[in-house]
Chain A
Amino acid sequence: MFELVVYISLVCVSISMLGLIYRVIKGPSIPDRVVALDAIGINLVAIIALISIALKTNAFLEIILLIGILAFIGTVAFAKYLEKGVIIEHERDR
């Protein structure tokens, strides 16, 4: 019964990921695609959590935090590139 719930939620998260992949491909502007990629990363966290429940292991718990951090850094880098044109400045102009 419990495993059935886990599998149903896996299917639901997969469907939402498919919707986000549609937005990545179709998205009219670049920021749309960046936001969709960030949300795909968060959905990946959900999928890994559900799979680690289904496999009855806690070996993947570090991966969850890791994907959260990497999605944050990647989104920040993309946002800075879109705003300023450079990712790492040599000297801040102020």
Chain B
Amino acid sequence: MKTNDVILQTVTKITLFIIILFSIHLFFAGHYYPGGGFIGGLMTSGAIVLLLLAYDMKTVANILPIDYKYMIGVGLLFSVGTGAGALLFDAPFLTHAHSHVLLPLLGDTALHTAVLFDTGVYLVVIGVTMTIIQTIGEDE
């Protein structure tokens, strides 16, 4: 039987951007409000799972040509690099630094190296979740 899920696909096209915006908001709000890298990564992979549900594995691989196993490695490298960067400045491992920077467009912005560590967590969570789901979904 030929099925037609045009409603699901149209709703997915609109909802996907709202979910990804929400996950980015959760990721950047993590320092001052509830949120952070873990739940942000889970929401982003939830958006990709919605894409996988509405379309199929091959279409999603064409849209997002990412090997999620490399994503885990890059995320771990981010976290280790943030920790090891402190060693260059004669500080103990995983010492974080922060300062207020006057950026041209954004004005007075508080930048913290914990964001880089959180980026690592974000990438690892997306990588692990999508690797698990794709590996389970792929067996024939």
Contact = CB atoms under 8 A, between A and B. Distances in A.
Interface of A: 59, 62, 65-66, 69-70, 72-73, 76-77, 80, 83-84, 87-92, 94
B128 interface: no
Contacts of A73: 46, 49-50, 53
B138 A90 contact: yes
Interface in B35-84: 35, 39, 43, 46, 49-50, 52-59
B61 to A, nearest CB: 10
A88 B35 CA distance: 29
Nearest to A81: B53
A92 B56 contact: yes
Contact of B46 (A69, A84, A87, A94): A69
B49 A69 contact: no
A88 B46 contact: no
B57 A91 contact: yes
B111 interface: no
B140 A90 contact: yes
Contacts of A66: 39, 43
A88 B43 contact: no
Contacts, number: 53
B56 A88 contact: yes
B70 to A, nearest CB: 21
Contact of B26 (A62, A72, A87): A62
B58 A69 contact: no
B56 A91 contact: yes
A31 B37 CA distance: 35
B50 A62 contact: no
Contacts of A70: 46
Contacts of B133: 88
B137 A69 contact: no
Nearest to B58: A91
Contacts of A76: 8, 50, 53-54
Contact of B58 (A84, A90, A94): A90
Interface string B1-37: 0110000100000010001001000100000011100
